[in-house]
Homo-oligomer: A and B are copies of this chain.
């Protein structure tokens, strides 16, 4: 959680940098809201039992609940919202790859009627900023456009009603070879073989801006209206990405399809591509790199999203149409990369600054627990993060070990003499046990500690 909270905080910082405000939606939605929105993935939705009342399901992503929220609130015509929350999929878990049945997503979405590709470009800028803030190392962002893809299907002769299911097949290309995907299209989805091969010839194309020229000169696509809309969008987008200086981080890849039904325009996916040993783990033998790299290239996308202009309209009672574009950060997958790279044992999980210790109490001497509580109270009331040992007559060693184990920087130490003289000893820990700390009048304790803390600035940036 220490790592995850640091991740969330860096991600939220970027979201806020781009004007995002946060909303919260319920963990469960009406079952009918989620039905029919996710294509073949719908089978992974968790349903609640019918215990009386409405039939509900656990949310599958943060996008559909967001669209439902915008639709339900007629006054919302535009909004930039971010949401860090859990979603649920009845999938086969794969811990190593960060794939769980319950996992966090971090989403940013821009809703509203705007000029083409401006929000889309900012979303990609946000994605780049986040992946850089998280220091994950090498990655690439694949782009494609549903309208170009649909144009390809159309010119190849795929019947309209099969567009989405063929998209689903193509979406598997990151895990399966083309021969398997083609097999699925032919055997399961009833395309004839030459048609599948035509599709194959298109979706094999990858590149940058140059690929747009190639598509424009394609004799079929260049006359296809929908497809041309997509090509024009991509042209505008590339202009904006160059202004934002992130064009080198993206690649145009016609094989990117995305499994989810609701996308209507630009789609994208970020892939982790460890290219050096240091991307993975600082203290690992070079020899192991290939093996580990294989584990992680199987991790798939670490962020994805796209434009979905029709989803709000589906939920709106008055068919209010609000175009949207968004991105979802796959934090759990990124977490599994970071966790592997870090030496988790050295991460300080608490925020305690001071440990209050008594010495000299024991079988014969009385407990000084009341004085310890009073000192803790003063520290807490001054906002200083403080702990003490829950023993009436604690051994000194035991208190010292507890402070050391929690990597606490400062000890406030006292015995009968200090109490009698209205003093305490303040000792900076982790510098050897020789000295017994600085003797300080009790009423200077707080300011002295605040001074020390000011000098030892806390931050978690060492984490990753």
Contact = CB atoms under 8 A, between A and B. Distances in A.
A293 interface: no
B21 A373 contact: no
Interface string A374-410: 1011001001111100111000000000000010000
A373 B243 contact: yes
A23 B1 CA distance: 6
A385 B405 CA distance: 39
Interface string A18-52: 11111110111000000000000000001111110
A347 to B, nearest CB: 11
Nearest to A110: B390
A19 B373 contact: no
Contact of A350 (B21, B240, B387): B21
A373 B245 CA distance: 10
Contacts of A48: 46-49, 58
A216 interface: no
A384 B86 CA distance: 29
A73 B380 CA distance: 31
A438 interface: no
Nearest to A243: B373
Contacts of A50: 49
A381 B28 CA distance: 37
B125 A385 contact: no
Given A27-B27, A114-B390, A390-B114, A19 B244 contact: no
Contacts of A451: none
Interface in A49-64: 49-51, 53, 58
User: Chain A interface: which size bin?
Assistant: 35 or more
Interface string A58-88: 1000000000000000000000100000101
A16 interface: yes
A327 interface: no
B369 A18 contact: no
A21 B244 contact: no
Contact of A115 (B27, B53, B390): B390
A219 interface: no
Interface string A187-204: 000000000000000000
A364 interface: no
A245 B377 CA distance: 8
A370 interface: yes
Given A384-B17, A387-B18, A239 B49 contact: no
Contacts of A112: 390
Contacts of A370: 239-240, 243
Nearest to A88: B27
A90 interface: yes
Interface of A: 1-2, 4-5, 16-24, 26-28, 46-51, 53, 58, 80, 86, 88, 90, 102, 110, 112, 114-115, 118-119, 121-122, 125, 129, 239-240, 243-245, 349-352, 369-370, 373-374, 376-377, 380, 383-387, 390-392, 406
Given A4-B24, A17-B385, A122-B390, 11 more contacts: A2-B21, A17-B384, A17-B386, A21-B349, A28-B102, A46-B48, A47-B48, A47-B49, A115-B390, A118-B391, A244-B377
